[in-house]
Amino acid sequence: MPKTEIPLINKIFLILETLAGERGALAIHQIADRTGIPRPTVHRLLNQMEELGYVGCDHRVNCWFPGLRLAQLQPRGDYAALQQAALPKMQYLHETFDETVNLGVLTGGRIYYLMSLETSKALRWVVRPHQTDNFHSTALGLSIVSHLPAVERDALLVNSRLTQQTEKTFTDVAQLKTLLQRVRRKGWAKEDGQNEEGVVCLGVPLLNDGYPLGAISVSIPKFRHTPTMERTVVKALLSISNLEV
């Protein structure tokens, strides 16, 4: 019997689902082997989807990964397991320091706030669930992006608009790469007026098998921030960075 031809739309979704199920990038032959779609067809469809922003490619090694537009389609209600695992960590930080604690994920090239536990103190910096921010100007974003696989991280830097949020915001790709390398080495990120004037945020990624599923940060008004407090907060953050979901 002749082999049944897979409809074009099925091929597109097979490729996207294959890429979305990976934490790293895939070569064309790997995608073809996993989907059963001929390599020339995979190559042609990937090129078309890259033009639309649904996939990205590191052309130095010809490896493909989900694009920013695909990430924007991700349902934002699919984070229940992450929220459940992160909540005790957030409560611990909140009870210890009584400062605002935030949980965020990277989606569509931006930080999406899932939860926030507000300080009881009179002066505070408040974010609301479902609010979004730039990844490059926030401790949450720097924590996550610094721990992405190199291919994903480089593609994000190249394809994102690095807007100037404040006078302190890093918008130069080379400077941002250096900063991300430093954050990865230390295991934590500091935002000091790069996103909001007068606010210091300290953050860590939430790592599952080394991959950043999200990040937690502690937000402190500048006038309450001290070097001693920073060291104490960072130590507590590093102690809760590993995640099992």
pLDDT at 186: 96
Cβ atoms of residues 134 and 140 within 8 Å = no
Cβ atoms of residues 137 and 197 within 8 Å = no
| Residue type, position 30, single letter | Q
Indicate if 176 and 103 belong to the same structural domain.
Answer: yes
Distance CA 111, CA 219 (A): 15
Indicate if 19 and 111 belong to the same structural domain.
Answer: no
Structure tokens at 57: 């490619």
Residue 242 is classified by DSSP as B
Q: The domain spanning residue 214 has which CATH number?
A: 3.30.450.40
What domain count does the chain have? 2
Indicate if 228 and 127 belong to the same structural domain.
Answer: yes
What domain range includes position 42? 8-72
Final residue before a domain boundary, out of 16, 38, 72: 72
Per-10-residue mean pLDDT for the chain, 245 residues long?
A: 69 88 78 93 93 79 76 64 93 96 87 90 70 90 94 83 87 93 97 92 94 95 94 97 78
Distance CA 94, CA 73 (A): 32
Indicate if 98 and 170 belong to the same structural domain.
Answer: yes
Residue 53 lies in a domain: yes
Tell me the whole-structure pTM to 2 decimals. Answer: 0.74
pLDDT at 1: 40
Distance CA 190, CA 200 (A): 7
CB atoms within 10 A of CB 34: 17
pLDDT at 56: 79
Of 71, 76, 53, nearest to 148 by C-alpha is 71
CB atoms within 10 A of CB 222: 13
Residue 117 lies in a domain: yes
Cβ atoms of residues 153 and 135 within 8 Å = no
